[in-house]
Structure 1
Amino acid sequence: SNVAGLAPTITSATITGTPTVGQTLTAHSTGVTGVPTPTESYQWLSGGKAIPGANSSTYLVSSADYNQPITVTITETNSVGVASATSVPTAAVVGLAPTITSATITGTPTVGQTLTAHSAGVTGTPTPTESYQWLSGAKAIPNATGSTYLVQSSDYNQPITVTITETNTLGHASATSTPTKVTGVSPAVTTPQITVSGISPAGVGALTWSPSQTSGGATISGYQVEYSTDGGKTWITVPSSDVSGTSATIPGLSIGKAYSFRVVTQSSMGAVASAKIRATTFTQGPLDLPSRPFAAYHAGFSATLSNFRAIENTLKEISALRISRITLVGYAIYETRAKNGHGRYLTMNQVIQLAKSRALSAEKYLRMVDRRLHLAPPQFIINVKILNGKSHITNFELYRRVSLKV
């Protein structure tokens, strides 16, 4: 008769190796018997759960095993039967401190463009947290701690780098990118130009200015208005609440006192100040409106190019100072023996109408200029001033004019 075999037996299963992520563990069996000789198979377990595909005598600990105990079940099998043994659990798997191979930057290094940071070769268990610090000219950029960075005008011609740091509970590791130099158009901010300045009779200063222009990605954050009472040796800042866009209203100034004003552009390139400009209390009147000379009995108001520019500046100042009422005074001479050139004497009423017509003609002209400048016209009040007789007059132009009074 045939000799019968023996079913397998196994006394124990054990594990050697360090239970750390990235390390290799090895399974060992002891007390194995059986005829015919049993075939040995393995199943590795993490936290008591079978690990798919982990069926060899060795096992490479993965990050998924972090903080879990590892066991192995060894099974002996022959034609007569099977027997199994499971190892004692290892200590909980220990993680790995982070590593990082490199940091790189993609994107165009030009003012106004966005750069992106990338990491490579990152390891670590638990999975590391990634943080960033962008640098310009080897100096850390405040608040530039995201994975992207918008290149500023202050970075122009500077090398940009990024340091990426990987951190977990076991440590940290960093890598810094190769520098990339910012190129393109040199950023610049032009000086603001004050176009109107003045102080109203009530002691309210007013400024308007043309805005600064930018290039090369430079940006403007706002304007600061300052005034001085000592010719610019010291400057006092006007509260931001009194500044709106490209104009400012400055209350509380002294009547008749000379002030200097300047506008400072706050920009990504720093502060850019205008040239100082002086102003005193706006003339309370009368202010002669520059015009071509009036003929003796003519009322039409006209102006040369230089006259026109002077009138423009006056109206801009009136608008800036928010002066709402303007008096126009028309002048004329009444003389009982004067003729108008057509054989008729001018009566007092006619002389008054002549003076009034001169003022109305000037009003029409001023309204035309206001429209051209897109200014809100003030209310015009018409007055006349008549001089009786001319024998004592040495300057007839004094009574052939129109004056303005606020």
Structure 2
Amino acid sequence: MSDETGTFGGYGGRHVPDALKAPLEQLTEAFEEIALSDEFQTEFRDRLAEYAGRPTPLYHAKRLSVEYGADIYLKREDLLHGGAHKLNNTLGQGLLAKKAGKDRLIAETGAGQHGTATAMVGAMLDLDTEIYMGEKDVKRQRMNVFRMRLMGAEVNEVTRGGEGLADAVDAALEDFAKNVEDTHYLVGSVVGPDPFPRMVRAFQSVIGDEAREQIRDRIGELPDAAVACVGGGSNAIGLFDAFREDDVAFYGAEGGGEGADSDRHAAPLADGEDGVLHGMKTRVIDDDTDVHSVSAGLDYPGVGPEHAMFQAVGRCDYRGITDEEALDAFKELSMLEGIIPALETSHGLALAKQIADDHDTILVNLSGRGDKDMETAAEQFDLT
């Protein structure tokens, strides 16, 4: 767990310029005084049920289980409103921003799911919404760009650097520093300076809380292993948090890109080093690596500091999953179960397949659906 300074075994903290220190302290106070109150939590849970569609079901993927050689249970976050786990966090932060007197939301997005979920909440709560998205991601996630704009959000294409998620974060941070009085920066994952990693974890922990109860009701015990994809890592922390004190093995699937022999990947835990990125100390990819993943949501050069801590203490096994392995898993779940996963989620499925010989029962967080990735899939599998 983190202490009151927002550190995780030496990772995390607040490594920010002076201009952001006061706003972050104000946000911390609002989070601890408002978001953790019983009144806020009641409204948050009601909105999760009535607007977002919680609880999401637990599904025993029987045909996939036969194929993999272990019982595979899927936590169906793909069935949440918007098609991914992202709404849990945006709904929580949006409510907090509204109650704290902010009237504008900004956010970064890679695959577009977080941007879409932010646009949904901005529309519902009548908050002006502006999204920063790398030009590279805009091109490969056009449908989510259309959805954001349809719901009234302004989408800014970021053309600096590698035109990806990290560059979108930089642009959003610059906006936040200039507009702290009326703007809430709705960070999309368990990354950034404190209190963001703690705050996003709190809102995403509903995933694991539900899954823990559901699988115990279903099979009478806890799973042997819990698996999730890891970019920034919010869906994984959301699943893992409820099982952290249990005898349940944790596995995180990073974007291994073109493979171990390539310098094109997005696996800071498997192949990175300690460093400071976007206001936090964590594991980062060195500058000589071309940050790449077939999935835009994993295309990030860092990771949430709690994941860095989990790796350091041996609590979670993080592995890079190649683009090819993820695409194979994408196709397997689609053909065997009639469920089309997001390419990010497909990394977790591929890792579940790797560990199936070692565990009888595996819980996988199916963090998002694959509608947004159909153009990529059509090109890869010649479906046109």
TM-score (structure 2 length as normaliser): 0.20
Identify the structure with bigger relative contact order (alpha carbons < 8 Å, sequence gap 6+): 2
Structure of larger gyration radius: 1
Higher strand share: 1
Higher helix share: 2
TM-score, structure 1 length as denominator? Answer: 0.19
